[in-house]
Structure 1
Amino acid sequence: MPTSTPTPTPPQIQIQMPELDLPALAKTTRKSLDRLASFSNMQSASDPLPVLTKISTKIHALIRLIDASMLAAQLGYRLATDAMLLCESTLIVIDSELGEWDAGVSVDIDMLRETCRSGCENAGKVADGFRDVRQEAYKIAAATKDNMFIVLVPPDRNSSATMKIHLKDIGTGLVANLNLLSDFVRAVTNVSEWWVFVKEDLESPKPTLIPSPSSPTPYTQDEVRNMHTRWTSLKEGFQQYYDVISVAQERYPDLLPSSSAAWTAVTTARSAAPSSLGHDEKDKEQQNHASLVRGRARTIAKGMHAMLDRIVGLRMKHPAASGGGKGKEKEKDIVDSDNPQLGPMSRSNSTGPSTGFYRSGTPSSSSSRSSSLSLRGPGSHGEHEKRTRRGGSPGGIKSASPFSCCSVSLFGEDDVSRLGSHVGGFMIR
């Protein structure tokens, strides 16, 4: 009778826990909320508009999902805190690094599993809800295409006046922020996968993330200390997350009721340098916008210098054709014939900056020879910057538009990638 050979047991595959970049997640969450919150209180300028009601409903649904994602992060903070206590209660010896832990302090592992199930449910709901955000944005853009109906955006804590935009700008603005929203989708999907991993581990016979009292084999002290170190790092990461999103919760208390109450019940936000947490991003956007205008003006000035230098050079080569003093008058006419109110340094091509705007370097020799031209007067650099900021075109002063910076003139002709720099809260660079 042949003897049966036992089938060898395959080695257990160790699956690594998904990594969480919680500070980066917080910044993406806060930026996404800022963009959607800009559309959350839209009102019709006249009669109620059914399509506006539908858009507002969808945007509020997305904001509620962001609130749920913040709540899932709060559950992660609670889970990390309780897991640390469980590890500490398991260590019954004196250690130079961890100190002496009271073995009588215990944490119910079933409570940890319940917290994990709640976090997994919230994170999964957020990931599922944002999975089709790209299609929803395109649907809104299609439904509002070429619709010039006026929509009012009430002021918030950071603005004192009601903005007026066209209905079509809502869809265009959402599409313009799809890269940001897609980043948020990837981040919350990763968080959902993290929760699934932790949930499955905690419900296994011998968890690897926490020391389970019902484990068939005991844990070593090194294993428990490694668990404690991991949860300590995660708790710090969730705290950094809250340090960032607490600013959004303070700014939009009515939009984030669940997560705001949950977070304030377990911890307080720490003060930190604004640059490290992204608190001064709007100020940076405004400074970058001003630099863009100044750079564009310098480029225009160099181009005008070169053009005038070429004209003067041609006249020096052919003095007979200049006609003496009358030639100088003709030269002036060539420079100022387009707009007699502006100096030679104030006109520019309003279609966009030249390629010199994207390159740095010293002016050419021809520009240096004509640098004696005065930049003062109505065509000065400061006046050009004022014209550019007020009217959008450096060719002259335009009266203030009755619409906000989100009006139809904001958007380019080809696609949303040409939207340019916009600091009204609807654009992300």
Structure 2
Amino acid sequence: MSTPPPTQELSRLPLPPGSEGYPLLGETLSFLRAPREFVRERQLRHGNVFRTSLFGSPTVYMVGSEGARWVFAGENKYLNVRWSAGTQAVLPTRSLMGLTGEAHQSRRRLLVPHFTPTSVREAVPRIQAIALRHLARWAERPGPLTVHSAMGSLVFEVALSLILSDAQVDTERASHLFKTWTKGLFTLVRWDVPFTTHGRSLAAKRELLSLLDSLVAERTQRAEQPQDILGSLLAVRDEEGRPLSREAVLDETLLQLLAGHDTTMNALVNMVYLLAQHPEVRDRCREEQRGASLEEPLTLESLRALPYLHQFIQEALRLHPPAGSVSRVTTQDVEFGGYRIPQGWSVMLGISGTQRMEPWTEPERFDPDRMSAERAEQRRQPHCHIPFGGGARVCIGQHFALAEIGIILSLLLRGYRFELVPGQDLEFTSIPFPHPRSGVVVEFSRR
């Protein structure tokens, strides 16, 4: 891993190769149009570290395990989290996503108890019940099913149950507002007017916060809080006995909905696509569960007894990670790979590109067997399989997400048939999260 050289030596180092594109726009439009191709073309021309300009900021983009190691080790030292101006405008900024340093670590400590193995184990029956209800509804509806939309509703209800537990919420209305809000996470036009994506996103965010505010008002009247995320946020006190501000509680609740929804939902959509594209893998996953029924209660132990399903999930997360990259900002002039990166520049680490490089053999090929215990030497090499990020900001809910994915896929494979409808656009889009453009349209029915 690169280490900072003395200041006088650092000033003599070159910037990474590349181009900053047009004034103001930089190369943002080219990146948004085809992110994967954008990175590949520059990687071939410049190597695994190159300079560009994205979302109004000079940016160093890097791929590879060494870059991942450097980024994850630099948190709160020479790097901090950064979001584009458009994204930051619609994000809940007083949440874990916007906090840094000790404030970030303190908030993580507050949330960790909801993602322990014990908490995940207790949530399994609830997730199974929600999934069974949605899957049955999918099979009853006429015509083809768009998995992206249907899976979004399922995962949204799971997230609500973890965060708000017994709260009475108009799930359909909340889900619609949530989808409208998240469409504004990656937009260039930041006009807060009704006819723009950004304006609609901000309006949906305001309505969601108003909905959550009414729930918080009701909760604060209770003598005891339920054991859910909102309950923890309301119960916590600082060293002087002060609670979190109302705004921080609302922002964190909204963020946890986002964190518990979008990445998990898109991961599941991509996995359904891969199962449909590779019937031999789908059949092998089913064979592993031979004799199991939909009514049979699932547990963490029964999920662990499905090694091939686990291999499939890990390989799908390698080939199509839920988030294609992570973004940081330098807090001082730094060096990486023999190049100088000035203070205030963005640093983007390509998760997808990193997971499609050495030490993986034939990294573009989908092969769940590469995740088997017999071939674990590749998977165990540091920073080559990082679908949930790493370092101080590694995804706090990764084990919950893996359990949720395992439950939904297990039930799907046990009880239902799904075949891709011909003629749809299965090319991957990467913004805001990687998934096939069509949303994966299938003929769906009971087995």
Tell me the TM-score range normalised by the shorter chain: under 0.3
Structure with greater helix share of residues = 1
Structure with greater strand share of residues = 2
By relative contact order (CA 8 Å, sep 6+), the higher-ranking structure is: 2
For normalisation by structure 1, the TM-score amounts to 0.21
Determine which structure has more spread, i.e. the larger CA radius of gyration: 1
